[in-house]
Structure 1
């Protein structure tokens, strides 16, 4: 097995807005950075919920539909539901307690770790526009790109994952 990871690149697509799937993406991203792999995460549609900054949300210059959409969607990583067994939030609370008991970092800590380690976070320009989000509503360091830009990045990667 070749353990040389020098100049390797991982490209992730995060399409899911689920807590556990975002946790999986960030676990992989952090682990890859720990072994020296360059990592980018392209967040599209529901995946954008992970990187919305709760302190930067605005309703200014939004249509009625966009305002209604904002009022019923998660803001920031800790508001994401589980993909399975959410049970109106009880399942997620159980998972978070189990994570705490095993000293597993929260989703927010995984996200902050990825940011500090230099994971590049991209948002799908079309998804942001369709969902009525503003570029300034996202985490610092986030970059808005097109699907074509993502494909150029992914085609130059050694591994691509879709979550």
Structure 2
């Protein structure tokens, strides 16, 4: 089987409808042995803080949230946060965007150290992503 050895994910939105797939894809790729790198930028940064922003959903999904939560609980689906932490346990690395962090007044010590490995610029992230697939969530 011909597989890519690297998967790099850029996440900009901090809404749950984006973070759930981030957790699923990161954990799945790490379990398959991919080198996983996540670049957190934009509003998503606020969900990776020591004191994270509250979960939010886009307006068009709000009515479906209770059923989704019930279905996830009934099927023992872990939270996106738990999936992402499991991906990290398998070697995934998560980076906060230095430019957006600076613009938002955030420093490395503001981020949850169990999630964010480092604060780096886009050039560093792109060098690490080189030769692999990059997706934007």
2:14 alignment counterpart? 17
Deviates more, 1:132-141 or 1:143-152: 132-141
User: Normalising by the residue count of structure 2, what TM-score does the alignment of the two structures yield?
Assistant: 0.86
Describe the shift of the 1:34–1:137 C-alpha distance in structure 2 as closer, same or farther (beyond 3 A). Answer: same
**Number of residue pairs matched?**
135
Are 1:162 and 2:120 an aligned pair? no
Identify unmatched segments of 5+ residues in structure 1: 55-74
2:26 alignment counterpart? 29
Distance 1:84 1:118 in 2: 35
Identify unmatched segments of 5+ residues in structure 2: none
2:122 alignment counterpart? 147
2:102 alignment counterpart? 129
Are 1:109 and 2:82 an aligned pair? yes
SS of 2:9's equivalent in the other structure is strand
Distance 1:49 1:94 in 2: 25
The structure with more radius of gyration: 1
Task: Quote how far apart the aligned CAs of 1:53 are.
Answer: 2.2
CA RMSD of aligned residues (A): 2.0
2:38 alignment counterpart? 41
Decide whether the 8 Å contact of 1:53 with 1:138 is kept in 2. Answer: yes
